[in-house]
Structure 1
Amino acid sequence: MLKLYGFSKVNAVARGHTRDLRVLWALQEMQLPFEIAGMDHPAHELNTDAYRRLSPFEQIPALDDDGLLLSESAAILVYLAKKTGRLMPGDSAGEAQVLRWCFAAMNTVEPPMLALMVLDWSADGSCAKHREFLVGWVNRVLTNLNLWLTDREFVATTEFSIADILMAHVLSAGVKDESLVAPYPRVLAYRGRCLARPAWQRAHAAYCERVVAG
């Protein structure tokens, strides 16, 4: 059976937004049986030689599929999609578009949003110029994503895919200040469509019941 290493305890700010939720969502969409290996982040359970064999950078999530070990949430989603034939088109052109938008979510959309979130968590009031730059970067990314979503229900193909899991999670977990996304109605509508899916609702509810803030 698939074993997913996810959080059992994590700091209160991150709880409900962590990247294991991407895999938990995919597992619900794919209706795959799995077991959770809960990891206590404040107790430093990720900072061990044993866990580094699963996840070299001591991060959640990690997956053990009968001895096949994998880390990085996007890589896990691609692996599961190809293993099951779900949430990924069977034709090479469709697969290429899904992979394109998986990379876009991770490498284009997430970096400025994550950088801005970290700055807002840690800034002491002396970083106005830095924040202005990051806000501009976020706005450029969201402007272009908003244009791309014109007349599109999903980001990569006409069907919901793993690219939508990654993109919608970035647009949710990566947003501390909702005023940043307010000017982009198609982005908001897209995020809402994805997060309204029953599989996400089940995954998130189970996570919130299981994961403790610490």
Structure 2
Amino acid sequence: MLKVYGFSRVNKMAHGKTRDLRVLWALEEMGLPYEVVGIDHPQRGLDTPAYRALNPFGQIPVIDDDGVVVTESGAILLYLARRSGKLMPRDLAGEAQVLRWCVAALNTIEVPVLTAWFVDLNGGKGTQASNALHQWGSMRLKQLDGWLAGREFIATDEFTVADLLMTHVLGAGTDESVVKDHPHVLAFQKRCIARPAWKKAFDAYCDRVEAA
């Protein structure tokens, strides 16, 4: 059975926001059977030799699909979409749009948004660097908002892994502060997290994962 290496215990600040949720959500959408291998982050479970053999960066998530080991949440989602034939168009043009928007989520959007959060968290709030990062992020979100005007989903007419990934990058409904000033992005996020598969994955995560 496909194994998902995800958290069993994580720092309280990160609880409900970790990237294994992207994979768990996708698996619920696809209806693929899986088991979760829980890793205790505060007890340095990511630093064991066994785990570093799977992912040298010591990050979550990882999947092991009968010996096929894949790391990086975006790569895992694309792999699972190809494997299942779901959440990804079968034609080359449609697949290209999904690839395009997965990369945009992880690079064009997540980089400024996540970096600004990290700088502020570490005492940089209000600094020139923080202000520049927030301006960069706001610019990208405004551009994304324009793209989503009149669109239900981001890459195609159907829900795909690109929507799932972008939704989680933007906070997946756990924190609307990033998108509150961008009505089309906010509406997009709300549509995506209203899906039953998200609720099932998120509820199971909250029941299973301890906040340390």
Give the TM-score, by structure 1 length: 0.95
Aligned pairs for 1:86-105 (under 5 A) are 86-105=86-105
**How many angstroms apart in 1 are the aligned matches of 2:135 and 2:174?**
15
Q: Judging changes above 3 Å, is the alpha-carbon distance between structure 1 residues 173 and 198 closer, same or farther for their aligned structure 2 residues?
A: closer
Query: Structure 1 vs Structure 2: percent identity of aligned residues?
Result: 55
CA contact (8 A) 1:110 1:174 kept: no
Shift of 1:175: 8.1
2:192 is aligned to: 194
Aligned amino acid, residue 147 of structure 1: G
Q: Judging changes above 3 Å, is the alpha-carbon distance between structure 1 residues 114 and 104 closer, same or farther for their aligned structure 2 residues?
A: same
1:185 is aligned to: 183
Give the TM-score, by structure 2 length: 0.96
Shift of 1:176: 5.7
Structure 1, unmatched stretches of 5+, are none
Aligned amino acid, residue 120 of structure 1: D
**How many angstroms apart in 1 are the aligned matches of 2:199 and 2:55?**
27
**How many angstroms apart in 2 are the aligned matches of 1:128 and 1:78?**
37
**How many angstroms apart in 2 are the aligned matches of 1:70 and 1:177?**
30
Structure 2, unmatched stretches of 5+, are none
2:4 is aligned to: 4
Number of residue equivalences: 212
**How many angstroms apart in 2 are the aligned matches of 1:153 and 1:172?**
18
CA contact (8 A) 2:5 2:37 kept: yes
Aligned pairs for 1:32-51 (under 5 A) are 32-51=32-51
Aligned pairs for 1:1-214 (under 5 A) are 1-123=1-123, 127-172=126-171, 178=177, 180-214=178-212
Shift of 1:128: 2.1
CA-atom RMSD in angstroms: 1.5
